[in-house]
Amino acid sequence: MNATASPAAADRLRFYRAVWRWHFYAGLFVLPFIAWLALTGAVYLYQKPIDRLVHAELKVVEPVGAQKAAPSADIAAVQAVTEGNVFRYTTPERADGSVEIGVVENDGRRQVYYVDPGTSRVLGHLPEKGTFSGVVRRLHSLDLLGSYASALIEIAAGWAILLVATGVYLWWPRGQRGGVTTVRGQPGQRLFWRDLHAVTGVWVGLVLLFLAVTGMPWSVVWGKQVNAWANGHSYGYPAGVRVDVPMSHQRLADTTTPTWSMQQAHLPVSDVSHAHHAAKPGSDGHEGHAEHGGSAYGELSPQSGAIGIDAAIHAFERLGLAHGYSVSLPRGPMGVYTASVYPEALDQQRVVHLDQYSGNVLLDMTYADYGLLGRSLEWGINVHLGQEYGTANRLFLLIACVAIVLLCASGAVMWWKRRPLGGLGVPPLPRQGRSVAGVFALLCIGGLLFPLVGASLLLVGLLDFLATRGWRAQPAP
């Protein structure tokens, strides 16, 4: 630092070095995660066409017209090849698509059987979430790492927000012309990679920030807490889910994959008085268990007096649900038929519950029925997944994913070129360690919003403090 520099300039330089140090730490921890999420996310953007290509023998059939086999015939065909219990029936999204029937096998494994809707011929089966896109999504969410995955996602997303915030500060023009919108130097020079990193980062930074924030709803602490809070008030899913009709302890998430806003949703109950010679609740050995969140699923033979799957599908068709909806079968005498569909267009999202005896609509919920927070978060999630706005959104996110990988690669090359031999290359402390403490305190304010991120910040701050013997300045390399 120049001894003749003004106090204000010296303070700015110290603050810049402190921010640079924390930007380095953020990049060190999160860049591998960001690159992985960008690569797997880019593939997942095109999940449906990829699945149709990879699993064509299961998912693609000869287009069928109005002469489709009855849903009960499709289910009967599946039950002829397995002793498991059918719990879900998913209609084709396209005219040349197969029916997907979810089965819980006797050993507890969930399988999806694919059936030709024109002939009721069973085409084969895969484990639930066992398609190519299902594996990619598990890789993207780090689900293969087990119960720690959601925690890692939350920490990585929080550090990505920190990375963007500190990166924009470091990029901010301070009189220089190069490295702001243009790249200087040659590929063999560190200056080239520094400028490439900075220019790429500032253009893709807002997208990365958006993806990090909209990825938070899946996190184990922040996401669950916000979801429970939103759905305990009128900000999340409709009030009718909680108070307007009698509700059971069965959950929508037990048989299908609901939207974020519906993860806390419970199911209404059928009116047994509508049944003809209906069994008493619990008399068949199912109701008492399933009513409390157990695993008793609907079977091919309906409860006495129930309308059956064919009539239920007919009712859902009359209601005009978007193609590709799933129907969860009733569990026990008080269970309901539940149709749910989450297509690319948010305004077509819908969940409908039917009384299994009368066929009456008990609840009919759409995206418009969500509270303000629920609608906002669902919009962010849908855009994050490349669904809302269709092809334009997917192409934009694909380009962004490529840019994020370039950002990570340029940062790694830049670090490799500046690191000292045998050292990590942590940016040197400013002359006055309180600048690092000040930046750390600002970052911890953000850590209050995201508890796991705050805990990781404290851990890294403590290790850095101990390693530098109290944030005392070291001579610059």
Confidence bin at 54 (pLDDT 50/70/90) = very high
Q: Please compute the mean of the pLDDT values over residues 71-78 and round it to a whole number.
A: 96
More confident residue, 305 or 95: 95
Burial 164-185 (b: 16+ CB within 10 A, else e): bbbbbeebeeeeeeebeeebee
- Which residues lie closer than 8 Å to 214 by C-beta, 6 or more apart? 377, 380, 381, 383, 384
Amino acid 38: pLDDT: 94
Least-confidence region, from 38-42, 60-64, 68-72, 269-273: 269-273
Work out the percent of the chain whose per-residue pLDDT is above 90: 38
Interstrand relation of 99-104 and 85-90 (parallel, antiparallel or unpaired):
antiparallel
pLDDT reading at 440 higher than 80:
no
φ and ψ at 232, to 5 degrees?
-95, -5
Confidence bin at 180 (pLDDT 50/70/90) = confident
Amino acid 450: pLDDT: 78
Amino acid 311: pLDDT: 95
236-276 pLDDT per residue, tens: 555 544 546 777 888 888 888 888 777 778 888 888 876 66
Amino acid 416: pLDDT: 86
Take residue 362 and report the two structure tokens written for it: 């008990």
pLDDT reading at 354 higher than 90:
yes
Neighbours of 233 (CB within 10 A): 11
364-404 pLDDT per residue, tens: 988 888 878 788 888 999 999 999 898 999 999 999 999 99
Which of 313, 312, 336, 326 has its CA nearest to residue 250?
336
How long a stretch of residues is the chain? 477
Answer for the pair 192, 186: CB distance below 8 angstroms, yes or no: yes
Q: Please compute the mean of the pLDDT values over residues 425-453 and round it to a whole number.
A: 73
Amino acid 282: pLDDT: 39
pLDDT reading at 40 higher than 50:
yes
Q: Please compute the mean of the pLDDT values over residues 316-324 and round it to a whole number.
A: 95
pTM of structure:
0.81
Interstrand relation of 99-104 and 266-268 (parallel, antiparallel or unpaired):
unpaired
Neighbours of 198 (CB within 10 A): 23
Q: Name residue 354's beta-bridge partners.
A: 337, 361
Take residue 220 and report the two structure tokens written for it: 């184990």
Neighbours of 353 (CB within 10 A): 26
**Maximum C-alpha span of the chain:** 95
Confidence bin at 361 (pLDDT 50/70/90) = very high
Which of 211, 213, 47 has its CA nearest to residue 138?
47
Answer for the pair 354, 312: CB distance below 8 angstroms, yes or no: yes
Q: Please compute the mean of the pLDDT values over residues 153-162 and round it to a whole number.
A: 86
Amino acid, res. 452: L
Q: What value, to the nearest 5°, has the Cα angle with vertex 386 and ends 382 and 389? A: 80
285-301 pLDDT per residue, tens: 333 333 333 334 444 44
Confidence bin at 449 (pLDDT 50/70/90) = confident
Handedness of CA 32, 221, 294, 291 (dihedral sign): negative
Amino acid, res. 154: E
Listing DSSP states for 202-238 in one string gives HHHHHHHHHHHHHHGGGSTTHHHHHHHHHTTTTTSS-
- Which residues lie closer than 8 Å to 217 by C-beta, 6 or more apart? 223, 226, 227, 260, 377, 380, 381
DSSP SS3 for 282: coil
Alpha-carbon distances, residue 398 vs 40, 402, 403 (angstroms): 11, 6, 9
191-225 pLDDT per residue, tens: 898 889 989 988 999 999 999 888 888 777 777 77
Q: Name residue 361's beta-bridge partners.
A: 354
Least-confidence region, from 198-202, 281-285, 303-307, 335-339: 281-285
- Domains and their CATH numbers in the chain: 7-45+138-220+389-467 (no CATH), 56-130 (3.10.450), 237-370 (no CATH)
Which of 439, 452, 449, 248 has its CA nearest to residue 465?
439
115-149 pLDDT per residue, tens: 999 999 999 999 998 999 999 988 888 877 776 77
Amino acid 443: pLDDT: 74
